[in-house]
Each structure stands twice: as C-alpha cells, then as structure tokens.
Copies of this chain bind each other. A is one copy, B any other.
Amino acid sequence: MSEPIRVTVWGENVHEREEEHVRALYPDGMHAAIASSLTVLLGDRVSVRTATLDEPQHGLTDAVLAQTDVLTWWGHTAHDRVDDGIVDRVHAAVLGGVGLLALHSAHYSKIFQRLLGTSCSLRWRNDGERELVWTVDPAHPIAAGVPHPIVIDAHEMYGEHFDIPAPDELVFVSSFAGGEVFRGGCCFRRGAGRIFYFSPGDQDYPIYHQPDVQRVIANAVEWAAPGPEVPRAVPDSPMAPRDWFA
C-alpha cells in the first residue's frame, strides 16, 4: 500500500475558541493536535488535512470527501449546528468505504447516531478522575503497542449503559476511579466503511497530547482505511436478469 492514507481530521472547534482553559490546552484546536500527532506517528503513510464546523459546508465538500480515506470526528456542544445535508453526505461516504473515527463526545454526533441507529446515550460525570483503558482484544491491530492499561490521570467519566448496537469488535474497556466501566473502544462495520469509537478525549484535559492515546488513534486510522479494492459507492438495488450466469 504505497499510497498514503488521506485523513481528514474534523473538529467542532468551539470550546477551544470560547473557553480559555481549553484554548490553553489546545491553542490551535483539538483538530490541530490530532492532525499533528498522526503526521508524527505515521509519517508518509498518511496525508492529513483538517476541517472545522465554521468552514463552508463544515469543510466537508464533495471534493474533500472524495479525497478522504479516513475521517476523524470530534464534536460536543454544537452537534445540532451540523447541517443535515452534510450528515447525509458523510453517511454516504462511510457506507461507500470511508473510515470514521468517532472521538469522545462524538457519541452524540448526528453522523454516529445515523450510522448506529440507537440513542448512543451513556452515563457521565466530569470530575477529573483516573481512567484505566484495558485491552480486551490484544491481537487487534488497534491495540498494537498500547500499554495494558493505558492510564489517564484525569478525565470525564463515561459509563455504562452505553446504548449502542453490540460492537462488531470490542477492543477496549475502561474503568474509572468512581467504579464505573465503559466500552470505550468499539469497532463497527457499516456498508463498506469501518467505524471506530474511542472514548478518551474530553476538551477539559490534555488527553490528545498523551502518546498512548495518539497511538490508538494512529492505529485506528490504519485499521479504518479502506483497502484498494473496496468499492467506493453506496450499493444500489440492481435488478438481476434471469440467466445472469448462463
């Protein structure tokens, strides 16, 4: 696979502009931090661009999506400001083979709900407590080179019940100091697209600067990229002739 994986890192980019303590952590936005870490870790195996909510069409034009192999998505406070037509477009792209990484509060994004079909609700508590991210599938490529557990010193708690379909592959389960557990690393396959949900990454904590977390996201980008022969269109519903094989 000599061609680089074309990654579009999408960021809502609201907290980073409006809240000083978030801006202190991510002066250029979380999307910039994620994009940078992918380039550092994956080098010429990726070609990374970013896009944000406030750009025209949220930066997700047909042209951009046509040149995207994997899309990462971070949103939280402005899910409802994402245009439904753009959600339709991203939905079609994922069914057509574009990989999607839904990060942290993207569990409530329109695109994640659209793809999964459930409420994607969960328990939460933002109290800066220790999260341990345990690997339950050590041979999974997304877990390659990841410590067992990843220790996140302070994070928002996300806990069960997480209202998602049963994941096609469950990679990570977190525990929190308060005792909760969470299926925080889940793979789904929808159409020709691969989807990975990864729960670490609240805007109040410097989690995307943590090397272990960056490694998971880089692994997931490589896992979610479509192979060269994956069909890149949403399948239609063809009428088959009577003697197609004669």
Contacts and interface: CB of A to CB of B under 8 A. Distances in A.
A234 B122 CA distance: 11
Given A118-B190, A119-B191, A151-B245, A181 B181 contact: yes
Interface in A122-160: 122-125, 127, 130, 132, 134-139, 141, 144-145, 148-149, 151, 157, 159-160
Nearest to A92: B119
A179 B175 CA distance: 6
How many copies of this protein are present in the complex? 4
Residue of A127, A149, A174, A243 contacting most chain B CB atoms (<10 Å): A149
Interface string A153-177: 0000101111101101110011110
Contacts of A238: 123-124
A180 interface: yes
Contact of A191 (B163, B168, B226, B236): B163
A117 B181 contact: no
A166 B169 contact: yes
**Contact-residue size bin, chain A (C-beta under 8 Å from the other chain):** 35 or more
Contact of A173 (B163, B165, B173): B173
Interface in A178-203: 178-181, 183, 188-194
16 contacts: A115-B117, A118-B191, A119-B234, A125-B242, A136-B160, A137-B161, A137-B166, A137-B189, A139-B189, A139-B230, A141-B227, A145-B229, A149-B179, A165-B190, A173-B181, A175-B181
Given A121-B235, A175-B181, 11 more contacts: A123-B240, A124-B238, A125-B242, A130-B179, A132-B245, A137-B189, A139-B194, A144-B228, A148-B161, A160-B173, A175-B180
